[in-house]
């Protein structure tokens, strides 16, 4: 905090304070309190140590989402109980995503059994109004509220973007928690509009924000529902709640990290280096570790097989991309001698397009190498294979799909103005 000077309290809630930063009006500081509440604040208790656990949990979750490519307000840590974020005008809506039916959903939808699974996840919205117990709102109600925040009017396009983003965030965290054999049942998040008019995931995400069931077992729940269910709150029961929250914070250390998977780009000739480096650039952006090699299946078959043996015996998860044109023997030779995935991505030139594509497509029977044309497509195909075992690569792919959706939305909005 040496470089920041705290100003007045912008907002104070039941479990946090938000301060302005005098030397940067675009930022603020969020400080958590040692307090736990439920039932719109009707139930409330001091809980020493909760602020530190909540802040650490939030920082780890936002770090994972930022790494994936989700736009958030989080900037950096500012001590054990606080962090710096972009200053946002908060949209007064809670965005809830559910994978399984439980809690308030069952009360609102009698007849639905607990544990009913929503595929795709169910998305709901609630207007933040403690006095009226946060009533559920429709898209039409949000749009009709005519919210003007951060110089931006919240209309259908903004609602569509936030709905899609909410589900993607849930899916990324749901996938991440499977690493610890835990089921993310539901969660709530909030959005804000920053000084640039950008809609960002904001506020705090901690064990107050979700239901988390280890091994998918409700009896082992580690979230705030344990506190909600307490009919007699004692110091011992509060310690149990805090231990649960601490367990979640510690487990996140295993969730926010994963090995960087390897993609080996083998070129049949050094003249193909430019094409291969383009593949490597896209692979790096998706969280892969590219490695370039030169070998010729025609001119140096034995050496090609020796290189292949290196990666088969490495113990790493590896995807191979074969870059060879004209008469592509590289992809088929690799595919015929390994169970590792092989992707052909021939370097196309104006004088050999048909031959290069055809030699990569028309492979002998019994071979499973696939063919793509563009370097980005090769990197994406490799990432999709790795994403089956690597939740961080999966998250980057999901965030990229979200980015594509948002960019199309923005382009459509701009064209409608013409």
pLDDT tens profile 133-148: 999 999 999 999 999 9
| Edge-to-edge strand list for the sheet holding 16-21 | 6-12, 16-21, 27-32, 82-86, 74-77
Section 354-366 average pLDDT: 85
Q: Which residues contact 130 (CB under 8 A, 6 or more apart)?
A: 40, 41
What pLDDT digit, counting tens, does each position of 78-99 carry?
Answer: 999 999 999 999 999 999 999 9
Percent of the chain with pLDDT over 70: 99
pLDDT band for position 46 (50/70/90)? very high
Decide: 57 and 245 in contact? Cβ < 8 Å: yes
At residue 328, does pLDDT exceed 70?
yes
If phi > 0 it is left, if psi is from -120 to 50 it is alpha, else beta; for residue 228 that is alpha
Q: What is the pLDDT of residue 1?
A: 56
Q: Which residues contact 199 (CB under 8 A, 6 or more apart)?
A: 71, 91, 152, 158, 161, 162, 165, 191, 192, 193
Domains, the chain, with CATH or none? 6-255 (3.30.470.20), 262-389 (3.40.50.1970)
Q: What is the pLDDT of residues 207-242, one digit of tens each?
A: 999 999 999 999 999 999 999 999 999 999 999 999
Mean pLDDT of the chain: 95
Q: If pLDDT is split at 50, 70 and 90, which confidence band does 349 have?
A: confident
- Tell me what pLDDT residue 2 has: 60
Inform me whether the pLDDT recorded for 298 exceeds 80: yes
Query: Other CB atoms closer than 10 Å to residue 373's CB: what's the count?
Result: 16
pLDDT digits over 303-322, tens only?
999 999 999 999 999 999 99
Q: What are the E-state strand segments in 101-231?
A: 117-127, 136-137, 148-149, 152-153, 182-193, 199-202, 210-214
Whole-structure pTM value: 0.94
How far, in Å, CA of 201 to CA of 70, rounded? 8
What's the rounded Cα separation, in Å, for the pair 396 and 294? 29
């Amino acid at each position: 905090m040496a470089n920041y000077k705290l100003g007045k309290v912008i907002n104070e809630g039941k479990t946090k304070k938000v301060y302005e930063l005098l030397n940067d009006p675009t930022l603020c500081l969020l400080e958590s309190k040692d307090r736990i509440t439920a039932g719109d604040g009707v139930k409330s208790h001091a809980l020493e140590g909760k602020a530190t656990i909540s802040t650490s949990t939030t920082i780890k979750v936002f770090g994972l989402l930022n790494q994936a490519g989700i736009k958030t307000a989080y900037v950096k840590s500012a001590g054990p109980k606080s962090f710096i974020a972009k200053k946002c005008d908060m949209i007064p809506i809670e965005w809830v995503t559910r994978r399984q039916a439980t809690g308030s959903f069952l009360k609102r939808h009698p007849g639905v059994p607990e544990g009913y699974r929503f595929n795709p996840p169910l998305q709901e919205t609630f207007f933040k109004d403690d006095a009226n117990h946060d009533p559920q709102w429709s898209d039409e109600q949000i749009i009709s509220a005519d919210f003007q925040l951060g110089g931006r009017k919240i209309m259908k396009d903004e609602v569509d973007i936030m709905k899609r983003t909410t589900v993607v965030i849930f899916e990324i965290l749901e996938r991440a928690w499977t690493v610890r054999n835990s089921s993310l049942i539901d969660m709530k998040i909030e959005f804000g509009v920053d000084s640039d008019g950008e809609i960002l995931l904001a506020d705090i995400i901690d064990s107050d924000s979700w239901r988390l069931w280890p091994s998918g077992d409700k009896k082992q729940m580690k979230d705030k529902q344990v506190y909600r269910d307490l009919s007699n709150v004692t110091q011992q029961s509060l310690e149990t709640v805090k231990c649960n929250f601490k367990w979640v914070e510690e487990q996140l250390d295993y969730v926010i990290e994963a090995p960087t998977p390897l993609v080996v780009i083998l070129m049949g000739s050094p003249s193909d280096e430019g094409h291969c480096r383009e593949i490597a650039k896209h692979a790096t952006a998706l969280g892969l570790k590219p490695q370039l090699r030169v070998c010729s299946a025609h001119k140096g078959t034995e050496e090609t097989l020796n290189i292949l043996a290196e990666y088969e015996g490495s113990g790493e998860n590896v995807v191979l991309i074969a870059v060879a044109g004209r008469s592509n023997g590289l992809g088929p030779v690799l595919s015929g001698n390994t169970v590792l995935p092989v992707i052909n991505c021939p370097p196309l030139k104006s004088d050999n397009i048909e031959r290069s594509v055809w030699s990569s497509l028309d492979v002998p029977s019994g071979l499973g190498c696939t063919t793509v044309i563009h370097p980005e497509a090769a990197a994406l195909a490799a990432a999709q294979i790795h994403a089956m075992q690597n939740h961080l690569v999966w998250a980057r792919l999901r965030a990229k799909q979200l980015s594509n959706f948002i960019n199309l939305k923005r382009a459509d909005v701009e064209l409608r103005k013409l």
